[in-house]
């Protein structure tokens, strides 16, 4: 039986970030995930590194400040994965906020960033229409402009994983489902089953950590770990639209009449639209957008962009994910008002559970946990190590000029970027927006030829 100091269950951004932090500090760590790394919630965000301007309304000033600091850190560390862009907030006569309120909020947002954000601006109706020509101008007063980051969420998670796995003390296994845990005198025995081969393996760990996001309540109950359900799962969906479906020279933040916030973000020669926020009443692994949810977002877009060609033909693809919102005692308001702060639990002396939080603040979240774990295991914790740039870049960058995809490049991606399936390659290593179906024209290579590179057990 192999022995590890820490076994992490869950390979999303928190699991990958924690593996990196622990490995950089010399902790022998194994990461296990039921699917591909970053294939669930950590690939289902709005692709933003942001402070969360709407959380100012909840008075979550500490969270916003922390998120803005982290956003600006990753803009410096990973310019190949993220970039800063302008966001426009239109104001109408019927809007919830008045111009002076928006001005105050944008000034506070810049202040909480320690004025590291590019400065905000207030725009007249004419100035806003020049930037967003397809915006409905009836009852439009003007708006505001501020700056946040756009990111490839899956690739940032993956590059944290790659950086951690450079260290000889770190290892990871995808498509390995944890099926049993057994408490021992020295920690835990963890049994996992390879979903590709059916083979089981049991390893020993001094400490067991769950970074399983929205799956935490279900998984811990199944494994018999002492646990009281803590989550309010919230489903969000997004649409990828064809470039030109909406004429905009920047991103737009829409406040809907049902008090939701919908982002319209041009990127990757397309337009990302999202998100919804609804209770979950279905299986949450590999969750999909429903027809009603897609129609809801299209309805919002048609209201604000009445002249735009917005129908099913404008949609490239959709995706959905579940947010792991932490239950708050006595909370009675909507899901949008649930705090995005994270929490760390200790079901027993040898286990930890990390849930909640925002994608943007993942490094701070796992650092809080790592700085407790590392000294417990007899190592010296060095907090500045995660401030260093990531050492292994993806071979196919998300933004900027991309190399020509060849069979040799695909082989190298499979070899060096921990790819198991064709879907892993298409969705997360190549970051294609189209469904993995008829991709031959997009890939420039026969799909059958690429599929042949993957071994099937």
What tens digit of pLDDT does each residue of 35-52 get? 999 999 999 999 999 988
Q: Is residue 449 very low, low, confident or very high in pLDDT (cuts 50, 70, 90)? A: confident
212 and 112 part of one domain: no
pLDDT at 329: 62
What tens digit of pLDDT does each residue of 97-155 get? 889 999 999 999 999 999 999 999 999 999 999 999 999 999 999 999 999 999 999 99
Indicate the residue among 315, 331, 347 that finishes a domain.
331
The pTM for the full model equals: 0.94
Closest CA to 281 of 319, 351, 317, 234: 234
Measured from the Cβ of residue 182, the count of other Cβ atoms closer than 10 Å reads: 13
365 and 238 part of one domain: no
- CB distance 300 to 135 below 8 Å: no
d(CA 155, CA 124): 38
130 and 189 part of one domain: no
222 and 236 part of one domain: no
pLDDT at 118: 93
What tens digit of pLDDT does each residue of 179-195 get? 999 999 999 999 999 99
Query: What single string gives the DSSP state of each residue in 181-235?
Result: EEEETTEEEEEEEETTT--EEEEEEEEEEE--GGGHHHHHHHHT-S----EEEEE
Compare 365 and 340 and report the one with higher pLDDT. 365
At 409, which helix (H) or strand (E)?
helix 407-416
Q: Is residue 331 very low, low, confident or very high in pLDDT (cuts 50, 70, 90)? A: very low
What tens digit of pLDDT does each residue of 284-328 get? 889 999 999 999 999 999 999 998 999 889 999 999 999 988 987
Ranking 82-86, 323-327, 392-396 by mean pLDDT, the lowest is 323-327
pLDDT at 439: 72
Number of domains in the chain: 3
272 and 217 part of one domain: no
Helix axes 153-165, 13-24, angle to 10 degrees: 30
pLDDT at 437: 60
Q: Is residue 279 very low, low, confident or very high in pLDDT (cuts 50, 70, 90)? A: confident
> Among residues of the chain, what percentage have pLDDT more than 70?
96
249 and 140 part of one domain: yes
135 and 241 part of one domain: yes
Q: Which residues face 340 on adjacent strands? A: none
Q: Is residue 281 very low, low, confident or very high in pLDDT (cuts 50, 70, 90)? A: confident
Averaged pLDDT of the chain: 92
Residues 6+ apart with CB under 8 A from 283: none
- CB distance 66 to 363 below 8 Å: no
- CB distance 351 to 320 below 8 Å: no
Residue 456 lies in a domain: no
CA distances (Å), origin 424, targets 162, 175, 350, 451: 15, 11, 33, 11
326 and 383 part of one domain: no
Q: Which residues face 277 on adjacent strands? A: none
pLDDT at 13 over 50: yes
What tens digit of pLDDT does each residue of 418-440 get? 999 999 999 999 998 887 665 77
239 and 221 part of one domain: no
For residue 358, whether the previous peptide bond is cis, meaning omega lies within 30 degrees of 0, is no
pLDDT at 436: 63
Residue 393 lies in a domain: no
d(CA 334, CA 318): 24
Strands (E), 256-405: 261-267, 270-274, 278-279, 315-326, 342-348, 351-356
What tens digit of pLDDT does each residue of 193-246 get? 999 999 999 999 999 999 999 999 999 999 989 999 999 889 999 999 999 899
Residue with tokens 């490094």: 363
Residue 400 lies in a domain: no
What tens digit of pLDDT does each residue of 141-163 get? 999 999 999 999 999 999 999 99
324 and 236 part of one domain: yes
Give the tokens for residue 221: 């109950």
pLDDT at 154: 96
240 and 216 part of one domain: no
* β-pair type (2-9, 176-184): unpaired
Residue 249 lies in a domain: yes
Task: Please give the residue range of the domain that contains residue 444.
Answer: 407-451
Give the tokens for residue 256: 């809907």
Q: Which residues face 262 on adjacent strands? A: 254
pLDDT at 332: 46
């Amino acid at each position: 039986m192999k022995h590890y100091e820490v076994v992490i269950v869950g390979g999303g951004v928190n699991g990958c970030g924690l593996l990196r932090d622990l490995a950089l500090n010399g902790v022998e760590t194994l990461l296990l995930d039921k699917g591909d790394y970053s294939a669930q919630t950590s690939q289902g965000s709005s692709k933003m590194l942001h402070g969360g301007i709407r959380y100012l309304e909840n008075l979550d000033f500490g969270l916003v400040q922390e998120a803005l600091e982290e956003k600006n850190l990753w803009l410096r560390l990973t310019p190949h994965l993220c970039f800063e862009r302008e966001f426009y907030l239109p104001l109408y006569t019927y809007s919830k906020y008045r111009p002076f309120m928006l001005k105050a909020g944008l000034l506070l947002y810049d202040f909480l960033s320690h004025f590291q954000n590019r400065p905000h601006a207030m725009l007249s109706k004419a100035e806003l229409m020049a930037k967003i020509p397809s915006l409905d101008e009836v009852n439009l007063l003007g708006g505001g402009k501020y700056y946040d980051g756009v990111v490839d969420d899956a690739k940032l998670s993956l590059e944290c994983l790659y950086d951690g796995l450079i260290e000889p003390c770190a290892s990871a296994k995808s498509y390995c489902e944890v099926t049993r845990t057994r408490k021992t005198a020295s920690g835990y025995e963890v049994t996992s089953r390879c979903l590709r081969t059916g083979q089981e393996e049991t390893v020993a760990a001094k400490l067991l950590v769950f970074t399983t996001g929205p799956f935490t309540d279900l998984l811990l109950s199944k494994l018999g770990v002492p646990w009281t359900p803590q989550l309010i799962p919230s489903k969000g969906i997004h649409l990828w639209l064809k470039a030109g479906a909406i004429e905009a020279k920047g991103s737009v933040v829409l406040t809907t009449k049902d008090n939701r916030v919908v982002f319209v973000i041009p990127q990757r020669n397309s337009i990302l639209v999202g998100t919804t926020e609804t209770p979950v009443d279905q299986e949450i692994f590999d969750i999909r957008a429903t027809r009603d949810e897609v129609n809801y977002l299209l309805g919002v877009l048609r209201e604000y962009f009445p002249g735009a060609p917005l129908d099913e033909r404008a949609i490239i693809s959709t995706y959905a994910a579940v947010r792991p919102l932490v239950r708050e005692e006595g909370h009675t308001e909507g899901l949008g008002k649930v705090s995005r702060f994270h929490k760390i639990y200790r079901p027993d002396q040898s286990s930890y559970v990390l849930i909640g939080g925002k994608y943007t603040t993942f490094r701070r979240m796992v650092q809080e946990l790592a700085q407790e774990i590392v000294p417990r295991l007899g190592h010296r914790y060095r907090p500045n190590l995660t401030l260093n740039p990531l050492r292994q870049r993806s071979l196919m960058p998300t933004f900027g000029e991309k190399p020509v995809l060849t069979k040799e490049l695909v082989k190298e991606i499979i070899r060096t970027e921990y790819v198991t399936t064709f879907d892993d390659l298409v969705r997360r290593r190549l970051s294609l927006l189209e469904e993995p179906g008829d991709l031959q024209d997009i890939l420039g290579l026969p799909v059958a030829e690429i599929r042949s590179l993957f071994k099937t057990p």
